[in-house]
Amino acid sequence: MQKPNKRLENQTCIVTGSSSGIGKAVAKAMGSEGANIVVNYHSSKEKAEEVADWIEKNSSCGNALVIKCDVSKEDDVKNMFNKTIDYFGTVDVCVANAGMQIDHPLHEMPLDAWQKVIDVNLTGQFLCAKEAIIEFLKRGMRKDVSKSLGKIIHMSSVHEEIPWAGHANYAASKGALLMLMESICQEYAPHKVRCNSLAPGAIKTDINKEVWSSEKELEKLLKLIPYKRMGVPDDIGSVASWLASDESEYINGTTIFVDGGMTCYPGFATNG
């Protein structure tokens, strides 16, 4: 992990799905840079509490609060924001990270598998962004902590750009996130809201365990990564905390790919 500074001091960040993987790394990175962190979990309270304990011990000034919430449920999301505002006073940064995969060939994909992935990966991000914007507008500028009214970071994927056979629900959810993120920027940038996406490539987490736990599959995967290593969650954590800070103030309405060059289509390196 990068050497922390205090660039998020006095700011409160909600990180959804932060009991594991990328969300956990983002929560730790932002926490170690001085932010108060809401560690949101869906099912593993114990793991969320471990992340919160780590933040409390390692942050120079931030605190952590653990909140259970299913991001696909509007009442849950409203409750998470209300609890956060009651406890920390406001929300400055929302990292809509929670996501899932349920993979099937398209002609065998049950409607349930389509719907569930869209509900969590797309509707969940809409609900979180909506509540964040409501709070930003209600609260007004906090010039002492940030030049922006508030920051939203969507956790997208290289699959907002690269089609993915056998994963159409996932790719469709991430493709749609691009338009959600850009539309939010267009609508709320005049209010000084910043809304961007991060698009990780292949990052070693539970979501793709079956790939990196098999040597053969890993070898196949590395052919898709020009930089020739799989990413780790901290690769995303460090970029996310920078993107939430004023150091990146003029970045708005864009996707930052953090993928070791995956979107440079290495299959074409030798003329395809």
Identify the active-site residue in 41, 87, 170, 250: 170
Q: Which two tokens stand for residue 251?
A: 């970045």
Among 42, 151, 167, 194, binds ligand NAD (CB under 6 A): 42
84 binds ligand NAD (CB under 6 A): no
Least CB distance to ligand NAD at residue 144 (A):
32
Least distance from ligand NAD to the Cβ atom of residue 267, Å: 18
Does 237 participate in binding ligand NAD (rule CB under 6 A)? no
- Of 11, 36, 59, 72, the one binding ligand NAD by CB under 6 A: 72
Q: Is 17 in the site for ligand NAD (CB under 6 A)?
A: yes
Closest CA to 31 of 106, 7, 170: 7
206 binds ligand NAD (CB under 6 A): yes
What is the C-alpha R_g of the chain? 18
Residue of 49, 79, 100, 114 that binds ligand NAD (CB under 6 A): 100
Distance of CA 72 to the CA centre of its chain: 15
> What stretches of 164-232 show up as alpha helix (H) in DSSP?
168-188, 209-212, 215-222
36-57 per-residue burial string, b: 16 or more CB within 10 A, e: under 16: bbbbbbbeeeebbeebbebbee
Nearer to ligand NAD, 100 or 224 (CB): 100
16 sits near ligand NAD (criterion: CB under 6 A): yes
User: Of 96, 18, 84, which is closest to residue 52 (Cα–Cα)?
Assistant: 18
Q: Which of 84, 97, 197, 241 binds ligand NAD (CB under 6 A)?
A: 97
In the chain, beta strands by DSSP E: 12-15, 36-41, 64-68, 93-96, 150-155, 193-200, 255-258
What are residue 52's DSSP bridge partners? none
Asked if residue 148 binds ligand NAD (CB under 6 A), the reply is no
Binding mask 239-268 for ligand NAD (x = CB under 6 A): ------------------------------
For ligand NAD, the binding residue among 14, 15, 23, 262 (CB under 6 A) is: 23
- The residue assigned the tokens 């969300």 is 23
Q: Is 170 a catalytic residue?
A: yes
Task: Output the DSSP codes for 127-138.
Answer: HHHHHHHHHHHH
Residues designated catalytic: 170
Residues that bind ligand NAD in the complex, under the rule CB under 6 A: 16-17, 19-23, 42-43, 69-72, 97-100, 120, 155, 157, 200, 202-203, 205-208
